[in-house]
A and B are shown apart, each in its own frame.
Chain A
Amino acid sequence: MRRNIWRDVLGRWLALAFRFYLGGVFVYASVYKIGYAAEFAETIASYQLVPALAVNAFALALPWLELICGAMLVAGVRVRTVSAMLGALLAVFSVAVVVNLLRDTPIDCGCFSTLDERMTWLTLVRDLTWLAMTIHVFFFDSPLALERRYQSTLKEIET
């Protein structure tokens, strides 16, 4: 019994906590970027990884992607798909961070605003931590998901 409780705590409930945390982080991170797309475009450009033609498009789409995925993660809709997408984003961010850390590029992370602290290896650790959380969320089914209403509704209909 205790084993099951721990399994639940470390599995479902921890996944729920990760969902809320990651979703909140991404929603929060997206708000500033959406409002100041030009500055975010400069941040992307400072990474020197995206072609010039795609920088502005990235700056426009990426914050909305973070907002949608964060909101869906909090709401519990398409949790696996969203967690996979956020994981992919975090992986890309991590690679970008690694590349620029190796280049010794003097830039900020730009994760939340243009006035972030200078990007360091801790930034990479943070991203990897978030990546691990997304992986946990991907593999563990969590409660309080909006899509679970489908199953309960289906049961109500069938009964």
Chain B
Amino acid sequence: MRTELERKRLSLRVLLETAQELAGILQPRKIMETFLLTAMGPIGAMRGVAVLARPAGCEGMVLSRGLPPAEAEALEQRLPDICDAYFPYRDLDGDFPSSKIRVIRRDQAGGDSLLPRDMDILLCFNVDESHCGLLALGPLLSADEAGAGAELESDASTLLHSLLHLLIGALRGALAVSNIRQLSVDLGRKNDRLTEALASSHAVQRGLDRRVHQLAAVNELAAEMAHLREVQGILDRFLLTMLGAFSVGSGLVLLLDRAAHGVDLAVRGAPDTGLSGYAAADVLVYKSFTASGGRSVAPLTVEPVGDPAASLAGSGLPFEAACAIYFALDRDVQGVLVLGETISGEALEDDDVQMLRAQVGTLLGYVQGARHLATITALNENLTRQNEELTRTVTALTEARQTIDLLERAGERVRSFLRTEGQRSRRFSWLDCGVILVAAMLLGFLFNLASPNGVPLVPEHLRRPPAQTITAQKARELQQSEGALLVDARPQAFFDQQRVRGATNLTPALFDMMYLMRFAQVPLSTPLIIYGGNISRRWDEDVAAKLMAREHERVLVLEEGLTAWAARGYPVEP
């Protein structure tokens, strides 16, 4: 009985010491080593092997005591086979058998050849859901006394199981600590990764913000440039937007037209240093082309200029170039976009350059559209001008046609006139007679109005009262009784041809002279009888009027003149 108590006391003491040994150890290997060292003594084993494995990964550790180093090393090499032999449920994904400790008889073990030969005790145990363990002890000192193959006493077995429970508990704690440490490390790593990811996301956020800002600016640019029609305006607007979108303080965009020998230049944030001149612009564009690495000018080319600060140096740039994009619309129209340092002093990123490149491509589209529009406008103006010229030509042709018609009609009328006149000239025309007569009368009367030798149209004797008349008989009586003088008013030739005897010739034409010569001495009271009128002229009336004007008191006109006188047989002469 006392022995029994001593044995239990010893067992408890062993357990206590083992528990104390294992209490402060956190490493599983150390626990396993300590356990082997602690357990082999009380059990009475000369050698021991302890395996802690994770069947799912065929990994773990093999510890041994009392084995030669070569055999111990070979044993470690056989760990996967040991796992296959003693932990066949590794594929159960943690669903291990519920019994924690299994005593395996050597003849029952599949991997008997894997362990040293004289291992009398084989125990498999589960540490946790993923770890299993194997403990092999032997040969026992008690077996040497009892013979080979002796089994462990019940007390020793109980002690061993208790020790194993201690081992399992220690291993669990160590594994838990290890897991916790691993988890802590993983958590730290993940935390670091998260911190990096957060920083990266911030950077991405900034990039995205910048990109959104750039895209918004580009969108606004597209909306504004859609209304622009002139290349210069497009360049100005584009440059302003690019400077704002990429936060650049200064920049220029230049477009060189070799065919038209013209330059369009937009500069912001710096003075124009003469790049608007064709020669300087040509040099800048050529340097940009060579620095862009292009070998030929293909239409709609957009290439970044490599190392713009160095390659464009000496081109007359008013600022130091930080980024430059060479572009070509076609073989004749080329240009370059040059940007200075950003406001923040940071260099543009590759994405920015690519974005800039894409925007220059868009710029080319607008410039091409503007140039096409200019060409179309010029064509339209040309067409309008040609239309106006055509209209004028048509109008002129119409007028010419009308003139020709008019001239043809006039020619026809001239021909008709000439034909009529030709025919008329060959025949007698009463109309011509009338025209000639009227013309003669008109000319005669008009000339008479202006002529100093003009004559009155109406004879003067018709405009004065007729003189007193006397018959031939009374005239004869008056001649004989009162010595009346007979006056012949006819021209000299008529007077000479025949006259009243004793008559005196006194014509109206020579009245004054004849009167002085022949009638100056005649008393005014002497009756004067005048004759000499005919159908055409009343010379008698005219002379009578003149004599009465000379205040002769009795001036008489002989009725029917010389004819009546001679008809009565009164004397005439010669």
Contact = CB atoms under 8 A, between A and B. Distances in A.
A86 to B, nearest CB: 11
**Chain A: interface residue count, which band?**
35 or more
Interface in A125-159: 138, 141, 145, 147-148, 150-151, 153-154, 157-158
Nearest to A104: B497
B425 A106 contact: no
Interface stretch (B98-106, B373-381, B452-460): B452-460
A138 to B, nearest CB: 8
Contacts of B461: 52
Contact of B436 (A47, A57, A85): A85
Interface residues of B, number: 46
A55 interface: yes
A44 to B, nearest CB: 7
Contacts of A85: 433, 436
A42 B456 contact: no
A60 B445 contact: yes
A61 B497 CA distance: 31
Contacts of A105: 494
Contact of A154 (B418, B462, B538): B418
A158 B419 CA distance: 11
A141 B432 CA distance: 18
Contacts of B415: 154, 157-158
A53 interface: yes
Contacts of B535: 48-52
A154 B422 contact: yes
B419 A53 contact: no
From B414, B436, B462, B491, residue with most partner A Cβ within 10 Å:
B436
Contact of A64 (B425, B443, B454): B443
A36 to B, nearest CB: 6
A101 to B, nearest CB: 14
Nearest to B497: A106
B429 interface: yes
Contact of B536 (A51, A68, A77, A151): A51
Describe A's contact surface by its main secondary structure.
Answer: helix
B493 A55 contact: no
Contact of A150 (B425, B439, B497): B425
* B interface: dominant SS: helix
B366 to A, nearest CB: 69
A69 to B, nearest CB: 7
A57 B443 CA distance: 12
B534 interface: yes
Interface in B387-433: 411, 414-415, 418-419, 421-422, 424-429, 432-433
B418 A153 contact: yes
A64 B453 contact: no
Contact of B451 (A37, A48, A72, A148): A37
B537 interface: yes
Interface in B436-471: 436-437, 439-441, 443-445, 447-448, 451, 453-459, 461-462
B422 A65 contact: no
B421 A147 contact: yes
Contacts of A50: 535-536
B425 A145 contact: yes
Contacts of A64: 439-441, 443-444, 447
Nearest to B411: A157
A39 to B, nearest CB: 8
Given A78-B425, A81-B436, A147-B421, A53 B462 contact: yes
Given A55-B536, A65-B437, A60 B455 contact: yes
17 contacts: A35-B451, A38-B454, A44-B536, A46-B491, A48-B534, A52-B537, A53-B458, A55-B459, A60-B445, A64-B440, A78-B424, A78-B429, A78-B432, A80-B426, A104-B497, A141-B426, A154-B419
Interface of B: 411, 414-415, 418-419, 421-422, 424-429, 432-433, 436-437, 439-441, 443-445, 447-448, 451, 453-459, 461-462, 491, 493-494, 496-497, 509, 534-538
Given A52-B535, A68-B439, 16 more contacts: A35-B453, A51-B536, A56-B459, A60-B444, A61-B441, A62-B444, A64-B440, A78-B424, A79-B425, A80-B425, A81-B428, A81-B436, A105-B494, A106-B496, A157-B411, A158-B415
